[in-house]
A = this chain, B = another copy of it.
């Protein structure tokens, strides 16, 4: 699996998210010090505008240089402060989430196998499950 493009895309998404975090941080600071400017920035920073961090900053630079420069500095600070921890947080997080999903699934099919707690109405009935290996019980959705 070629991972160059996924890595670039993930970096782009993360950068846009850090830009959003920086906007949120500056907004919270402005609410204390300059509510009128906070109001203006809040209106400028719609969800659509923040989808792409670089386009957002380009537009903001044309409207308010000071705020744009401040957000650029804050997002760099946040990036330098958190990025080194992200790989372990994400990889460990995914491993643990995967284990938890498997555990919940096993618990569900075991309960179904007992014939006492058929929690999932959309799954095949108990008799059906009993005739097949548990892991395959809901493998195959209707073919479209």
Contact = CB atoms under 8 A, between A and B. Distances in A.
Given A82-B7, A84-B87, A140 B64 contact: yes
Nearest to A53: B97
A138 B40 contact: no
A32 interface: no
Query: Which range holds the interface residue count of chain A?
Result: 35 or more
A137 interface: yes
Contact of A122 (B10, B40, B62, B73): B62
A110 interface: no
State the copy count for this chain: 2
Contacts of A76: 91, 94-95, 98
A101 B61 contact: yes
Contact of A94 (B79, B95, B105, B140): B79
Interface in A109-144: 120, 122-123, 135-144
Contacts of A87: 83-84, 86-87
8 contacts: A10-B17, A11-B86, A11-B93, A15-B90, A37-B143, A57-B97, A65-B105, A76-B91
